[in-house]
Structure 1
Amino acid sequence: MTSVANPIRYPNTGSSQVMTRRGWWLIVLNFLIPGSPQVLAGNRRLGRFGLATTLLLWALLVALLVTYLFWPATVFTLFSTTISLWLVAFVLAFYAVVWVVLALDTLRLVRLVRTAPFARVWIAGLTTVLMIGLSGTAAYGVYLATTASGFLSSVFVAGPSDPPIDGKYNILLLGGDAGPDREGLRPDSISVVSVDAETGQAVMIGLPRNLEHVPFSEGSPLAAVYPEGYGAIDGCEVDACMLNSIYTEVELKSPDMYPNAVHEGSEPGIEAMRDAAQGVTGLQIQYYALIDMQGFLDLIDALGGVDINVPEDVPIHADETFTTVAEWIPAGEQHLDGYHALWYARSRHDTSDYDRMARQRQLQEAVLKQFNPTNVLSKFQDIAKAGAQVVKTDVPQGMLGYFVNLAMKTKELPIQTVELVPDNGVDPEDPDYEYIRQLVNQAVYPPSPEPTPAG
């Protein structure tokens, strides 16, 4: 009577057909509801433990999904802090071990020798595949979590979060180009990105590297040294008194102007550039990101290349003098690897700095679009390795989840650009900074549309 009432626990072991059918059921149940085969046919204590862990995991996943649907920034924050990532790694490692134990115990309960000979290999094979699929996925999750934790620790600082200013987050982006003929790094790409803290609408302001007489924000130590603007009165401490020389001068000649910079996750030269960008734009800048342009090559390769609509043929130079052309990047839709993308951004032959600025902005937007969950997860190791070498920033880890959520909004909106170039009425050799701040203010804080009169 017992075997009839419960053929899974008390099967007819003399019937290979019954044992084969039972075996398939146990294997499938172990995949769908780990722990259930033990409750039905084996050690009920182990089975209850397996079921409890399974139900707990389902509850966690449902809670995570609901949180993501209503409060996505919370989920991004959870997966962007070192402590939480190590906790995730521990949980996944635990489940990887549990699933291996349950799969092997399920295979024991099947009693392969009692199943039909033709089915034994298939049952054992399916069990192995499903076990590797479940536990292997969890183990890969452990790898991703620990790798991400190391990456975040190496790039992002621990510190307090800054609130938005007038509803905006303003970030200084510096593209560093430390060529072999240069003393130290000199930022060749200088931008300020202003992002609306609610909508994610971004305005990218391009600052020419050759701006002269640059003013500094109030209270800056450089404002006391250059009250009329950088190099406006008696020159400066380096050869060319232009915007991108400020980093070099402070970093090499007077780092003591910013004694707390390194402790706060920055550098004296970066803080000098922040003061200069604030003086030029009139915006208060909360954070910075310095991107090594040579390392940018590795990041683009890690992403699998980048898609660019090239407006006209762009030369690749054969030497550092930027005069001899080795090859051309042809006009049209192009998929560029890191090497060609870097040259697309920095090429100088028969072109102007303002053309380069436009190409750099275009490349920055294209790379932003390449960052999607599928791309990042599939190439995470290479991206994390490249990113740790490419980026230096003072964005705190605690803000990363919020900014990831904001960046997803930004990707869905057209990025507004303001280039401080002659075509926009800006003369880099004799700039009108009041006019520049007016341009910036109109773009960052556009006037609200006039209400349409009723009737």
Structure 2
Amino acid sequence: MSVASPPRRAGTAPAAPRSSAQWNPYSLRTPDTSSDAVMTRRGWWLVVLNFLLPGAPQSLAGHRRLGRIGIASTLVLWTLLVLVLGAALISWQATVGILANWFVLLVAQFVLLAYAVLWVVLTIDTLRLVRLVKVRGRARVGIAALAVGLLVVSSGSAVYASQVAGSARDTIASVFGGGPSVPPSDGYYNFLLLGADSGSGRTHMLFDSISVVSVNADSGAVTITGIPRDMRNVPFSDGPMKDRYPNGHEGHADASCGWDNKINQLNTEVGLCLDGEAMYPEAAALGSTPGIEATRDAAEGVLGVEIPYFVFVDMDGFAALIDALGGVDITVKERLPKGALHKNADGSLSGITGWIEAGRQHMDGDTAQWYARSRYTTSDYDRMKRQRQLQAAILDQFTPATVLTRFQDISKAGSEIVHTDIPASMLSYLADLAVKAKEQEMSTIELTQENGIDPDDPDFTVVHELVDATLHPATPSPSPGDGDQ
């Protein structure tokens, strides 16, 4: 039994089958699939659109829901980026504070990784929509190669950004403390900077480098005061060490414990001879150690300033940080030996592996480390000056371009060799001070004979006056008649 066709209205022609000539050659969704020229042109456009606006190929020629997800995700990320850049222009401090938050970094890491995966999915789907079998022979390879290349650039950038966010989160967690921030003291933030070697067998290391970095809380001006590691008879600020040595560390030594009354050996004394954990029970909770706390009390007593925070640098891995920064530029005044040196009985040196020649040099980590350590051919005070010179060179190398291009190497090296009790909540404020500090010349104070201070028998009243005069220079009084016209 046949089914009758529906009646056709008078005056209308029967519908003809759709021919290839009726396909819209400019349509991405309904192209003329029989034309390899049309399909080739369409393929190039879809791949480029996938890079410029992920999800657009799906919205125009494929699964619209997937396309909407891609476009919405892209617009959200671009909106967030614009907001971050706008916030940075309005308040650099607040932006760094937000981006330094571990939860924000964790969310950013997850979102960027998810977006990278989404881009891979969209690229694969775009190649499906291209229908390479309909494309001209030579163009097939070109379109596929372009899609893969753009995917590496786009998705790879998102993966790298995700890794940067993860590295920043891990570095902040491993390097910085979680204690409260404190207001500046007498207009300055003072940081105790300690350098020591934690090589094998050195459970109670001597602090090879001791200095205090004073940062003006308003201008960001930096003053570094170098304390000779062999300074004797040091006084202490209020605390357990002052209770034990109310008149200073004069004359106290114990050869059986391997310590003298030099300031750099306080770590050994507190760690081996005294019950440091009982003296400083809160040290571990604050991310510090009894030896560091005793040295901090001594540095406060020596300089007459309050030092709320410390930064410890492990010199055993110091070269890695220099290499991560791409090296440092140093002007060497005199030829210096490299190597694990030993001074023989006749005064000669053994263990020399090379020389650091005089003149302007771009040093890698190993050379810079020996430049800071070398002391047998010069005095200990010369070594202190070189250490201060190297510190300044490192600060100069911390430019935005260097940090951005070498971030992961810097963060990895920093997390391995740097430890501090500076709270992460202060990062935004310190970042602002660092920007200001870059615009000013750093000043130094060396507590040596050149400034009339004998480290073996120092006059700490003179030290206090020198430090105070440097940090708080007297304002010149106006001369009579100034301002008169």
Give me the TM-score of the superposition, normalised by structure 1. Answer: 0.93
Query: Partner of 1:228 in structure 2?
Result: 247
Q: How far did residue 117 of structure 1 move?
A: 2.0
Query: Partner of 2:18 in structure 1?
Result: none
Counterpart code for 2:61: A
2:322 matches 1:300: yes
Q: Deviations over 1:309-340 (max 9, x none)?
A: 11111122453448334432110011222222
Q: How far did residue 178 of structure 1 move?
A: 4.9
Counterpart code for 1:424: N
CA distance in 2, matches of 1:437, 1:425: 13
CA pair 328-5 structure 1, distance change in 2 beyond 3 A? closer
2:70 matches 1:70: no
Structure 1 contact 251–267 (Cα < 8 Å) conserved: no
Choose the corresponding residue for 1:343, options 370, 381, 398: 370
CA pair 44-451 structure 1, distance change in 2 beyond 3 A? farther
CA pair 389-321 structure 1, distance change in 2 beyond 3 A? farther
2:296 matches 1:274: yes
Structure 1 contact 421–427 (Cα < 8 Å) conserved: yes
Structure 1 or 2, whichever has the larger Rg, is: 2
Q: Deviations over 1:280-322 (max 9, x none)?
A: 1111111101111121122223333222111111122453448
Structure 1 contact 20–115 (Cα < 8 Å) conserved: yes
SS at match of 1:191: strand
Structure 2 contact 194–211 (Cα < 8 Å) conserved: yes
Q: How far did residue 371 of structure 1 move?
A: 2.4
SS at match of 1:141: helix
2:117 matches 1:104: no
CA distance in 1, matches of 2:72, 2:362: 49
CA distance in 1, matches of 2:201, 2:149: 56
Q: How far did residue 449 of structure 1 move?
A: 4.9
Q: How far did residue 157 of structure 1 move?
A: 2.0
Structure 2 contact 49–57 (Cα < 8 Å) conserved: yes
Query: Partner of 2:54 in structure 1?
Result: 34
2:366 matches 1:366: no
CA pair 271-8 structure 1, distance change in 2 beyond 3 A? same
CA distance in 2, matches of 1:117, 1:448: 81
| Structure-to-structure mapping, 1:5-404, within 5 angstroms | 7-178=27-198, 184-217=204-237, 219-232=238-251, 239-254=259-274, 255=276, 256-321=278-343, 323-324=349-350, 325-404=352-431
Query: Partner of 1:411 in structure 2?
Result: 438
Structure 2 contact 343–376 (Cα < 8 Å) conserved: no
Structure 2 contact 199–316 (Cα < 8 Å) conserved: no
SS at match of 2:140: helix
CA pair 244-397 structure 1, distance change in 2 beyond 3 A? same
Query: Partner of 2:3 in structure 1?
Result: none
Q: Does 294-303 or 257-266 show the bigger shift?
A: 294-303
Structure 1 contact 298–338 (Cα < 8 Å) conserved: yes
Counterpart code for 2:71: L
SS at match of 2:190: strand
Q: How far did residue 154 of structure 1 move?
A: 1.9
Q: How far did residue 33 of structure 1 move?
A: 1.4
Structure 1 contact 294–342 (Cα < 8 Å) conserved: no
SS at match of 2:295: helix
Counterpart code for 1:442: A
Q: Deviations over 1:94-129 (max 9, x none)?
A: 110111122122222222222222211111110111
Q: Deviations over 1:176-235 (max 9, x none)?
A: 135779772111111100112232211111111122221111x22111222221125x65
CA pair 39-180 structure 1, distance change in 2 beyond 3 A? closer
Counterpart code for 2:281: P
CA pair 451-18 structure 1, distance change in 2 beyond 3 A? farther
CA distance in 1, matches of 2:353, 2:111: 53
CA distance in 1, matches of 2:401, 2:118: 28
Q: Deviations over 1:9-39 (max 9, x none)?
A: 2222222222222222222121111122222
SS at match of 1:312: coil
Structure 1 contact 186–244 (Cα < 8 Å) conserved: yes
Structure 1 contact 3–9 (Cα < 8 Å) conserved: no
CA pair 115-340 structure 1, distance change in 2 beyond 3 A? same
CA distance in 1, matches of 2:282, 2:22: 78
CA distance in 1, matches of 2:470, 2:460: 15
The alignment yields a C-alpha RMSD, in angstroms, of 2.4
CA pair 177-118 structure 1, distance change in 2 beyond 3 A? closer
